[in-house]
Structure 1
Amino acid sequence: MNADATDLGRRIRRLRQERGISLSELARRAGVGKATLSGLENGTRNPTLETLWAVTAQLGVPLAVALGPNPLIQGTAVHGVLLHVFQDEAVTYELYRLVVRAGGTQISPAHHQGVTEHITVFSGTLQAGPVDSPLLAGPGEHITWPSDVQHSYAAIGGQDVHASLLMRYPHP
């Protein structure tokens, strides 16, 4: 068993239990299989980024809370490094360095109510935002959207996109 996967699983289980949610109920809410969630909690499965976002959204916590210290995130088309987490009374922010690989598209599940994403593109052309109305940004441009809906990321053209992502999570 991978120590990082075991630690991640323990954090997910603790968060679930603190909220009084059964494994079956969290799996149903997050739209993942019960066996997948059980494997994640036991540290025997390496979850996709999409699965982690679905689970943390249903737990009502920022992704960084589940990932722990110094996480790298890897999805279908997105690779990111968490640079900093900061908080004030009403909001938690996560700042990521992001690469969206050319030729791929990543669909991410809705986050909990009130979460917003803010992306600044440094190179490449990014199409991202709500699946039904994506936004386009090139170098030096910024896009933002409420991410409590299913959303996507795609590099347009043959070049990877390099960007920063600021996730804003309001406290309940």
Structure 2
Amino acid sequence: MSEAARAGESDGGGRGVTGDAATDEVLAEVGPRLRRIRKERGATLAGLSEATGISVSTLSRLESGLRKPSLELLLPIARAHQVPLDELVGAPPVGDPRVRAEPIVRHGRTYWPLTRQPGGLQAYKVLEPKRTTEPDPRTHEGYEWLYVLSGRLRVVLGEH
């Protein structure tokens, strides 16, 4: 692999090796962020070079955007500044990893899918609103398991 590919530099087509414009945009913001964090901590390029083992010229090129960041370069810098890697790259926030899909609202209930595979057993977190009227009876083939985490739930099965 060439040094340009390892460093994530342009492939000659005007786009980064990643080929993803959004990724290229995030990477372009890393250099100014590195410079800001270094200056906020009162560190010099020479001092950071000593702490990380990365040459002053490489650090300068990273900060000016002339060199694309790589994990091999960012990890020692994050360690030296004692900041999470996410802070250096400006990673976008992620949602709750336990609930991956958007909620679904049907018949006054809100459902959060907890499984992603179609078919087979499905798990949902369900918010059942308080009702003052009797709901319309519904039937379906199969089984349901319910765990009431708070409140009360009345289940009617046939005449029971």
TM-score by length of 1: 0.39
Q: Which has the higher helix share?
A: 2
Q: Which has the higher strand share?
A: 1
TM-score by length of 2: 0.41
Larger-Rg structure:
2
